[in-house]
Structure 1
């Protein structure tokens, strides 16, 4: 056993959350280290029984009665549970529905429904996740608006100074990711939101890489709108439904464009015209994905049990250890860290860049070490605090060093 692996094993023995890794389905023999929890979280060991109970009882026994008994309330009830566990938001402002892409579209259009005619610019950064950029470009085309692009440092992300120099009296909406999907850089959401509000515009934060990994305080930050996915650090499974947050002050003024029966004030009247339901329910559209919410509910319960402070402490310990090993073993081989070193701006994953890293990632997968790759030359080490062991981090760095050496 190498020194790095011995240190990883020792950190695992002293980890306050060490027992939680055993609560996830163990990987098969082909996987030795899983470092892509920031793309797809692992399932809980008892999730199969939870799913079976739902199928056999809630669905199989109650059948259509399930809608009247509980399912109609799930989009709001599960949203409230997530808000309390991970979003720093009061009840009545969060829904579970749709995909992240659909919710970005709905909430961006809702935010823009509040604008005055002279506000004709949407501010977005060039390194935001592609779907965010593609969607907002399409919305700008639909509404005849102009995009203002912020150029960011790829190793960092959006900063208050950059935002302050860009927003102004023509800004209709500001959209950004709270954590950069490339570098893991945490934006100062509170200060940026304040700056955008001072310019007279609303904000829409993409929380996909932060929810479940770091503490969030949407209400205290006075955020207007936010979205995020359920399949990364929330461990909701492949294609898990997303969540949308709409600040209470906007709910009865902002109008989302996908008007469906589930968001109607009286959905079962099936009337000729659309009348939005008061509050957050008006941001629903079609029938909620109830079966897909079962794993998400289960994972939210685990986060509630552990608490975001403990999760964040483990996240920082994992990324500290990763950076320590990267400096020792990989930097001498020509690898560069492309993520923040300071705790204030470092999220739940770290990115390293180097020549030929696409081939390095392929070789790692052959060896049973699973990070992911972001073009042109970045390998992301996604360290999910509840399921990742320190020994996995050590093994991954050792394997990268062996491939490069």
Structure 2
């Protein structure tokens, strides 16, 4: 009997050994690392200009050019003067931008040293502050730079012909002191054919620091119509800073095309319909003078008593139809210049007229430009056909 038990145990061990040899163990799967979209770290911001210690003049704007980066997106940047928020600029993209270049402005009201700080934000997450000190002086001729040289740098392009101005490598333009109403783009900004945020109306993207004349506005000042080079378009005022005299900028009414409502079709009746003569709807133009500029510095050379300066005048039709022909006249003090007859401007079209003017002696000269002085053109408004500036002539 005991022999049979040994034989049975031996058979059992043999079967188990065969099973172990014919099957492999199932491997335990390794956990897979899944990357999350959660951002890490903080945004980073740097001040491109002005430089530390730059000098400025009291009551003159200081333009601060900054560059902010973040792995997910910078949503806004803020400028602080002596610990107080003086300017906030947001990204036009609500999700933010991985690289956001912006221009922020601050106008000092007292002399002395001012500490400027900049912070960049990703939502509520702030960067480390970037800080510089500037010196605010009383008299402009005592400043070693300011907005002209040692502080904000940059030249203007196209401003004399009613186009846009951008400021060198720093994105900071020179603000002309001629009274013309202009918008400065605080960030790279979509330039649109209509004052809406639709994705299909973008003409181009204006670089940060673009300076362009405002030729019209919506009634609530939420959008500006700009003359940028040969193009006319709209930008959101939320992302701009305005300079010059803007109280006389004409209002333009925007009427978006309504989507037709589906209605049921009635059963047609066959009553004869009399012929109707279609009366065309007249869509009037509107002529404005968005820009009058001296195209060179009005400085009398040493040893001379006069200087000749070319004055550039931009006339734009901001209405809804062609204008027909009109006359343009310029008056410098008591001297009248006939700038000629313009055959007409289509909707959103501009023309630049120039006139050489001789200034005899230093001082302030009032310049006035009248468009369609004889009211030959039937316009939306007859009160905005005028532009005025004052040119200050100095001597070397």
The higher radius of gyration belongs to 2
TM-score between both structures, scaled by the size of structure 2 = 0.25
Larger RCO, structure (CA 8 Å, separation 6 or more): 1
Q: Which has the higher strand share?
A: 2
Q: Which has the higher helix share?
A: 1
TM-score between both structures, scaled by the size of structure 1 = 0.24
